[in-house]
Amino acid sequence: MKKALLLLVLLIGAASVFALPLNVGQSQFNIGAGLSTWGVPIYMGVDYGVTPDITLGGEATLRFHNHGSWVGIYGNGNYHFVNLLNMPSNTDFYAGLCLGFDVWLPDDGHENAHNSGLGLGVQVGGRYYFNDRLGLNLEFGGGFVSGGKIGISCKL
């Protein structure tokens, strides 16, 4: 039992040494799925490090709903609290705003069931990196996109 605990501590320590926050000029690819009352969203996007604590990004979403589907394009900006809170380098905690547009693509006969439109939202999320490139992402909020998302992040 002691050996297993020691091994676990060493693995977590090694992950902390090798993982680094998103650097200025570095990009990160995100992909995953979410939960929403307007269908299950599938998303993919890219974040770009503008400063050590701020990222700007874009995201495309697809949600299948009764009688049609939604396609969305969003931009987001996030502040990352890793440095401010002196968090381990294999973790990330962020909050920010998103702005985008959703287009309703109806099935035949349901053209007026929903409207396309502008979406504004806030999000709070976090990541846990398994190594220096790959991490698990969990996010809440996000405007029209979803009430919550879970996915994979990969530093490019």
> Could you give the domains of the chain?
2-155 (2.40.160.20)
Question: Most confidently modeled of 12-26, 47-61, 63-77?
Answer: 47-61
Flag whether pLDDT at 8 surpasses 70: no
Neighbours of 93 (CB within 10 A): 15
**CA dihedral sign, ordered 141, 50, 137, 17:** negative
Residue, of 152 and 37, whose pLDDT is higher: 152
Q: What are phi and psi of 137, to 5 degrees?
A: -120, 135
pLDDT per position as a tens digit, 105-117: 888 766 665 678 8
- Burial (CB count <10 Å: 0-12, 13-18, 19+), residue 55: buried
> Is there a contact between 13 and 72 (Cβ–Cβ < 8 Å)?
no
Q: Roughly how many angstroms between the first and final C-alpha of the chain, as a whole number?
A: 38
**pLDDT band at 70; cut points 50, 70, 90:** confident
pTM value?
0.78
Q: In angstroms, rounded to a whole number, what is the distance separating the alpha carbons of residues 138 and 104?
A: 26
Nearest to 127 by CA among 55, 40, 51: 55
Query: So what's the pLDDT on residue 111?
Result: 64
